Structure 1
Amino acid sequence: MSRILCILAALLGFGAASPASAYWEYGHETVGAIAYRNVTPAVRAKIDALLKRQALLETPTCPANTIEQASVWADCVKTLGPRFSYAYSWHYQNIDICKPFDLKPPCRDGNCVSAQIERDVKLLKDRTVPVRERVMALVFLVHFVGDLHQPLHAGDHSDLGGNKVKTNYGAFASARLNLHSVWDGYLAERAISQPPSPVRVYSAAERNAAWGGSVEDWSRESWQVARDVVYPSAAGAAVCAPGEHPAHLDEATIAKLVPVAREQVVRGGLRLAKLLDEALG
Structure 2
Amino acid sequence: MIRFIAAALALAVSMIATPASAYWEYGHETIASIAYRNVKPQTRAAIDRLLARQALLETPTCPAKTIEQASVWADCVKPLGQRFSYAYNWHYQNVNICKPFTLKGNCPDGNCVSAQVERDVKLLQDKDVPVREKVMALVFLVHFMGDLHQPLHAGDKADLGGNRARSDYGIYGPERLNLHSIMDGLLAERAISTPAPLIVAHSPAERVAMGAGTVEDWSRENWEAARTAYTEAFGGDPCRADVPARGKLDDAAVERLVPLMRTQITRGGLRLARLLDEAFGPPPPEAPKR
**Category of TM-score, reference length = shorter chain:** over 0.9
Comparing 187-196 and 271-280, the one that deviates more: 187-196
What corresponds to 1:10 in structure 2? 13
What corresponds to 2:131 in structure 1? 131
What is the alpha-carbon distance in structure 1 between the residues aligned to residue 276 and residue 34 of structure 2?
A: 12
What corresponds to 2:197 in structure 1? 197
- Contact kept in structure 2, 1:163 and 1:179, CA below 8 Å: yes
How many Å apart are 1:16 and its aligned residue? 8.1
How many Å apart are 1:211 and its aligned residue? 1.5
Could you say what secondary structure the match of 1:218 adopts?
Answer: helix
What is the alpha-carbon distance in structure 2 between the residues aligned to residue 87 and residue 47 of structure 1?
A: 22
Structure-2 change in CA distance of 1:6 and 1:232 (3 Å): closer
- Contact kept in structure 1, 2:11 and 2:186, CA below 8 Å: no
Counterpart residue identity of residue 234, structure 1: A
- Contact kept in structure 1, 2:8 and 2:172, CA below 8 Å: no
What is the alpha-carbon distance in structure 2 between the residues aligned to residue 217 and residue 197 of structure 1?
A: 26
Are residues 1:168 and 2:168 paired?
Answer: yes
Structure-2 change in CA distance of 1:8 and 1:25 (3 Å): closer
Comparing 211-220 and 136-145, the one that deviates more: 211-220
How many Å apart are 1:208 and its aligned residue? 1.3
Counterpart residue identity of residue 161, structure 2: G
Counterpart residue identity of residue 44, structure 1: R
How many Å apart are 1:156 and its aligned residue? 0.3
Could you say what secondary structure the match of 1:198 adopts?
Answer: coil
What corresponds to 1:49 in structure 2? 49
For residues 10-65 of structure 1, what are the alpha-carbon distances to aligned partners after superposition, in whole Å with 9 as ceiling and x for unaligned? 334589889xx5x6211100000000000000000000000000000000000000
How many Å apart are 1:244 and its aligned residue? 3.8
What is the alpha-carbon distance in structure 2 between the residues aligned to residue 174 and residue 105 of structure 1?
A: 34
What is the alpha-carbon distance in structure 2 between the residues aligned to residue 28 and residue 6 of structure 1?
A: 21
What is the alpha-carbon distance in structure 2 between the residues aligned to residue 52 and residue 111 of structure 1?
A: 29
- Contact kept in structure 1, 2:11 and 2:185, CA below 8 Å: no
What corresponds to 1:157 in structure 2? 157
Q: Which runs of 5+ in 1 are unaligned?
A: none
How many Å apart are 1:242 and its aligned residue? 2.0
Structure-2 change in CA distance of 1:13 and 1:147 (3 Å): farther
- Contact kept in structure 1, 2:20 and 2:79, CA below 8 Å: no
What is the alpha-carbon distance in structure 1 between the residues aligned to residue 204 and residue 250 of structure 2?
A: 37
Counterpart residue identity of residue 9, structure 1: A
Structure-2 change in CA distance of 1:265 and 1:14 (3 Å): farther
- Contact kept in structure 1, 2:8 and 2:186, CA below 8 Å: no
Are residues 1:238 and 2:237 paired?
Answer: yes
Structure-2 change in CA distance of 1:33 and 1:225 (3 Å): same
How many Å apart are 1:175 and its aligned residue? 1.3
For residues 213-270 of structure 1, what are the alpha-carbon distances to aligned partners after superposition, in whole Å with 9 as ceiling and x for unaligned? 100010001001112x111000122211224423111111111111111111101000
How many Å apart are 1:6 and its aligned residue? 7.0
RMSD (Å), alpha carbons? 2.0
**Structure 1-normalised TM-score?**
0.93
What corresponds to 2:260 in structure 1? 260
Structure-2 change in CA distance of 1:8 and 1:199 (3 Å): closer
Could you say what secondary structure the match of 1:129 adopts?
Answer: coil
Structure-2 change in CA distance of 1:194 and 1:73 (3 Å): same
- Structure 1 segment 206-217 matched on structure 2, within 5 A: 206-217=206-217
How many Å apart are 1:188 and its aligned residue? 0.7
Comparing 202-211 and 242-251, the one that deviates more: 242-251
Could you say what secondary structure the match of 2:247 adopts?
Answer: coil
What is the alpha-carbon distance in structure 2 between the residues aligned to residue 101 and residue 8 of structure 1?
A: 32
Could you say what secondary structure the match of 1:248 adopts?
Answer: strand
Counterpart residue identity of residue 270, structure 2: L
- Contact kept in structure 1, 2:28 and 2:143, CA below 8 Å: yes
Counterpart residue identity of residue 189, structure 1: E
- Structure 1 segment 84-95 matched on structure 2, within 5 A: 84-95=84-95
Q: Which runs of 5+ in 2 are unaligned?
A: 1-6, 282-290
What is the alpha-carbon distance in structure 2 between the residues aligned to residue 195 and residue 174 of structure 1?
A: 28
For residues 99-129 of structure 1, what are the alpha-carbon distances to aligned partners after superposition, in whole Å with 9 as ceiling and x for unaligned? 0111011212110000000000000000110
What is the alpha-carbon distance in structure 1 between the residues aligned to residue 103 and residue 8 of structure 2?
A: 41
**Structure 2-normalised TM-score?**
0.90
Are residues 1:182 and 2:182 paired?
Answer: yes
Structure-2 change in CA distance of 1:41 and 1:215 (3 Å): same
Could you say what secondary structure the match of 2:248 adopts?
Answer: coil
What corresponds to 1:280 in structure 2? 280
